Amino acid sequence: MKNKLNEYEILAGLICELTRNCNQKEDFFAASFNLTPAEVRLLMLFSFENTYSIKHLRETLNLTPGRITHIVESLEKKKLVERFQDADDKRNVFVRLLPKANIFIQNLKDNYSLLHQNLLKNVNKEDIEKIFESLKVLIDTFKKWTQEK
């Protein structure tokens, strides 16, 4: 006899499936720009600020120091970012966009928006609003959970 799944098991399965689909979307999107998904996530942060500390990037992206270093080095080779030390405290290292990257970032944002527009093109307005509200609740729930840990 097959056990009936409870609502929490169903939710877990849906979140796992959503995560897999989002990862596939990120892989596709990143490859179209000759970047890794991690490079795209880091660059998209620069939509909000021009400069970030390595520590802030590490915490925001939840990556190890070595992984952040690898990503930043790769983006430096592509001439999109540069690292520099804090003049007052040499232990603090920051990352900033190079001028060439501003157009690149705008292109990333525009194409990311277009990709999501295409994903939702066959979804009616009411369902889109439900998706937005549900995602907001889910994100708030995860934020509360991570703060309680």
> Who's near 60: CB < 8 A, 6+ residues apart?
45, 52
Using pLDDT thresholds of 50, 70 and 90, give the confidence band for residue 29.
confident
Structure confidence at residue 2 (pLDDT): 58
CA–CA gap between residue 36 and residue 74 (Å, rounded): 10
Domains of the chain: 7-148 (1.10.10.10)
Using pLDDT thresholds of 50, 70 and 90, give the confidence band for residue 1.
very low
CA–CA gap between residue 4 and residue 24 (Å, rounded): 29
